[in-house]
Amino acid sequence: MKVIIKIKDIYADNNFNKLVTKIPPEYSLTFSLLWNDFLNLDDIVSLTDNDFENIVRRHKPEVQKVMRDCYYAEGDDINQTLKDLIVRNFYDIVFTESDDSDEVTYEVKSST
């Protein structure tokens, strides 16, 4: 399924201090480390699994596990992927297009 999203106006400034208050503690490390690489939400939700894995490999094994648990929703305390959490908190859904895939992909609609 393809989901077209647009960032909510209140978060369009990509202010990390404002955004991180809406991220649950179990996701905050992964979110913060990805933020260091991208500095905006659009790039994080557009991240491919391959790009994510390239970023994860730069960290220590114990940090890699935490990051993968959050990103793929595999941890005991994790009930949704990091992307799904970010979309739910910071974006409006503009359009949904169904296809034969069970995988959800997000496409960011430009704010302009």
Query: How high is the pLDDT of residue 105?
Result: 84
- pLDDT at residue number 111: 62
> What are the structural domain ranges in the chain?
10-86
Question: What's the pTM value of the predicted model, to 2 decimals?
Answer: 0.87
Give the Cα-Cα-Cα angle 89, 46, 24 (nearest 5 degrees): 30
The number of angstroms, rounded, from the C-alpha of 22 to the middle of its chain's C-alpha atoms is 13
Residue 2, pLDDT score: 86
Which pLDDT tens digit goes with each residue over 10-42? 999 999 999 999 999 999 999 999 999 998 999
Distance CA(4)–CA(89), nearest Å, equals 15
Alpha helices in the chain (DSSP H): 16-20, 25-38, 41-45, 49-56, 61-72, 82-90
- The predicted-structure confidence for 67-88, as pLDDT tens digits, reads as follows 999 999 997 778 899 999 999 9
Phi and psi dihedrals of 39, rounded to 5? 60, 15
Query: What is the per-residue pLDDT across 36-68, written as a single tens digit (0 to 9) for each?
Result: 999 899 999 999 999 999 999 999 999 999 999
